[in-house]
Amino acid sequence: MELIRIENIDKIDVAARSFIEKMGQHKIFAFYGQMGAGKTTFIKAVCKELGVEENITSPSFALINEYSSTKSGSIYHFDCYRLKDSEEAFDIGAEEYFYSGNLCFIEWPERIEDLLPENTVEVQVTVADDQSRVIEI
C-alpha cells in the first residue's frame, strides 16, 4: 500500500506526479471516496501532469470523457455515480474501454465492480481531520 498526502490544493501537482510514478504499468484505476473527497480534482491534476492540454471536466453527465495525453495516449475518465448497475455500464461499452490498453480512471467504481478487470488498482481518496486529502493506493 502506498500513501500520498495532499496538504493543500497548491500541492496537488506534486501529489499527481507522485501518483504517476507509482502507477507502473497498470492501466485501470478505481477511485473510491465520499462525495466531495476530491476524486475528480485529483484525476484532473493527474491528467494535466500526463500532458492533457484540453479542458478536463467531470464526466458526471457524459459518463465517460476521453482525453488525449502527450505522454500516454488516450485516457478514459469514467463517472459511474449515475449508473444503476453494471448492465448500464456494459451497454455503454465500458469493458471495451477497460481492455483497450489505455489508461482508465473510474470514479464510483462500486457501481460496476463486477465489470472491472482483475488487475484494477484501487485508489481510496479520504479527507483527513485537518481537511488534507489522503490518497491510498
Label residues 63-85 b or e (16+ Cβ within 10 Å = b).
bbbebebeebeebbbbbbeebee
pLDDT digits (tens, 9 = 90+) for 113-125: 999 999 999 999 9
Domains of the chain by range and CATH?
3-136 (3.40.50.300)
**Gap between the Cα atoms of 34 and 10, Å rounded:** 21
Return the pLDDT at 56: 82
Give the phi and the psi of residue 43 in degrees, each rounded to 5: -60, -40
Return the pLDDT at 66: 94
Return the pLDDT at 97: 94
Whether pTM > 0.75 for this model: the answer is: yes
Return the pLDDT at 61: 64
Helix residue ranges per DSSP H, 29-128: 39-49, 86-91, 94-98
Instruction: Report CA dihedral (46, 52, 57, 61) to the nearest 10 degrees.
Output: -100
Which residues of the chain register pLDDT less than 70? 60-61
Q: Distance of CA 4 to CAs 15, 81, 131, Å?
A: 6, 24, 14
Which residue carries 488487475 as its cell? 119
Return the pLDDT at 87: 84
Return the pLDDT at 124: 97
Return the pLDDT at 136: 96
Whether 37 contacts 29, CB under 8 Å: no
Return the pLDDT at 127: 93
